[in-house]
Copies of this chain bind each other. A is one copy, B any other.
């Protein structure tokens, strides 16, 4: 099935994302090969200092300081150095050498995106940059391809994890900005110099990239209106909460018409804003990112996930590498759709999950102990039990009656049992045994509990 020659992949930079990319390319080599239709060989990693200490276990023979030489022998160049230079020169050199480029460099794309795209177009190469906006979240490809037949009206993005962590902490814990920032720094959410994040520079770069893609219009990062979150007070956040809002730093890209001149155009802006607690973006907590897209035909869409992190961002980089590689192999999505894995399809009996079982039982001493022992016999671990008396007229609950086994009522009670993860097989045997018990009037419901 793998008929194409192996592709040569060069990596520029070995920071937290780069190291993860190198590890995944090596450890998942065969799996990636079967998805691409060709092996992806990591031929070298360009770094400034070959002997610098690394945390990830990377073959030291891969490191080189000769970035230009490495680039020239590659089919695909992954740039994860950050900053404008020498990243820009390296990427231009890669494109001119006929390589496709994958980059996560938002600063460079915001400042020189059009130049890089023009260089790529001239030689028929591609620049991929899914990792540059909102980390692991696929947003570039949906905007470029999935919505290519639609018209984007507005994008509201939470695209900076540091500021979202800070504002979420202020909202949830009533913290001041200063305290929340201190915690963010301590936990590694904020860098030693947090200016780029808290003053909105990082979000503005992402807004420029998103606006360009959504509106087919060059948007220089200097044209993005930018306000940071340093002036947001605990009082403002509390006031917002009282009024049903939450404060979020939003990157907004919008088709607007100037009310005075009537000129139709594009607005790209970053500022802290209030958003209704009913809005899907309000539920984006901690360091997470989300991009909410309002399109003419598609309506409202939201893309949610991890906006940063070495391994998470590496996923986006590798997705782009596979796309670039498939283009080399077949000029299309390659073997994306083959079922090379053909894993066994297991029946429902093989599934393990959590369960909620609701039983109507005699309200008599010893019932809970009897039921509990049946769970235990089948190896199903119980997480919680709640009990209420179903048959008494008042409808009042007596959560402790069965648990203590002291009830002498002749009525019935409802038991709601939630289990830890158990196998479907063990659970169904347990439920069958329970149903057979004389003290059990009926099994009212068995529902699975998912998402944990």
- List residues of chain A with CB under 8 Å of any chain B CB: 20, 24, 28, 31-32, 34-35, 114, 117, 120-121, 126-127, 130, 136-138, 141-142, 144-151, 156, 212-213, 215-220, 223, 225, 233, 235-236, 239-240, 243, 245, 247, 250, 252, 254-260, 263-269, 271-276, 279-281, 283, 292, 295, 297-306, 309, 311-312, 314-323, 326-327, 331-333, 336-348, 350-353, 356, 358, 386, 416, 418, 423, 425, 444-445, 447-452
Which of B275, B303, B320 contacts A449 (CB under 8 A)? Answer: B275
Q: Which residue of B lies closest to A327 (CB)?
A: B332
Contact (Cβ within 8 A) A149 B319: yes
Contact (Cβ within 8 A) B298 A218: no
A315-B152 Cα distance, complex, nearest whole Å: 11
Given A126-B332, A150-B315: 15 more A-B contacts, CB < 8 Å: A35-B149, A138-B145, A141-B145, A148-B318, A149-B315, A235-B444, A254-B351, A258-B346, A259-B425, A267-B346, A272-B447, A274-B450, A280-B283, A299-B305, A303-B303
Given A146-B130, A256-B352, A319-B150, does the pair A236, B267 have CB atoms closer than 8 Å?
no
A-B contacts, 5 of them at CB < 8 A, read: A142-B142, A259-B423, A267-B351, A302-B303, A302-B304
Given A337-B144, A351-B269, does the pair A295, B275 have CB atoms closer than 8 Å?
no
Contact (Cβ within 8 A) B298 A315: yes
Contact (Cβ within 8 A) A449 B299: no
Given A318-B297, A449-B245, does the pair A147, B156 have CB atoms closer than 8 Å?
no
Given A236-B445, A345-B217, A416-B239, does the pair A297, B273 have CB atoms closer than 8 Å?
no
Instruction: List the 9 closest pairs (A to B, CB-CB), nearest first.
Output: A149-B318, A265-B344, A138-B146, A298-B315, A216-B341, A297-B315, A148-B322, A136-B298, A301-B305
A444-B231 Cα distance, complex, nearest whole Å: 11
Contact (Cβ within 8 A) B266 A345: yes
A120-B330 Cα distance, complex, nearest whole Å: 13
Contact (Cβ within 8 A) B266 A146: no
Which of B216, B259, B321, B345 contacts A350 (CB under 8 A)? Answer: B259
A256-B320 Cα distance, complex, nearest whole Å: 27
A163-B337 Cα distance, complex, nearest whole Å: 29
Contact (Cβ within 8 A) B264 A343: yes
Copies of this polypeptide in the complex: 2
User: How many whole Å from A130's CB to the nearest CB in chain B?
Assistant: 6
Given A345-B266, A351-B269, does the pair A336, B418 have CB atoms closer than 8 Å?
no
Given A126-B333, A141-B146, A280-B283, does the pair A298, B302 have CB atoms closer than 8 Å?
no
Main SS of chain A's interface residues?
A: mixed
Contact (Cβ within 8 A) A305 B300: yes
Contact (Cβ within 8 A) A147 B114: no
Contact (Cβ within 8 A) B298 A346: no
Q: Which of A267, A311, A322 has the most chain B CB within a 10 Å cutoff?
A: A267
For A34, the chain B residues whose CB sits under 8 A away are 216
Contact (Cβ within 8 A) A267 B350: yes
Which of B322, B338, B344 contacts A264 (CB under 8 A)? Answer: B344
Which of B257, B279, B304, B449 contacts A273 (CB under 8 A)? Answer: B449
For A243, the chain B residues whose CB sits under 8 A away are 356, 386, 416, 418
Which of B146, B147, B266, B300 contacts A346 (CB under 8 A)? Answer: B266
A318-B147 Cα distance, complex, nearest whole Å: 8
User: How many whole Å from A140's CB to the nearest CB in chain B?
Assistant: 9
Which of B267, B315, B327 contacts A147 (CB under 8 A)? Answer: B315
Which of B148, B220, B252, B298 contacts A323 (CB under 8 A)? Answer: B148
For A145, the chain B residues whose CB sits under 8 A away are 138, 141, 319, 322-323, 333, 336
Given A343-B265, A445-B236, does the pair A306, B300 have CB atoms closer than 8 Å?
yes
Q: Which residue of B lies closest to A317 (CB)?
A: B149
User: How many whole Å from A309's CB to the nearest CB in chain B?
Assistant: 7
Which of B304, B332, B337 contacts A331 (CB under 8 A)? Answer: B332
For A273, the chain B residues whose CB sits under 8 A away are 353, 447-451
Contact (Cβ within 8 A) B305 A450: no
Contact (Cβ within 8 A) B309 A299: yes
Which of B35, B220, B306, B311 contacts A216 (CB under 8 A)? Answer: B35
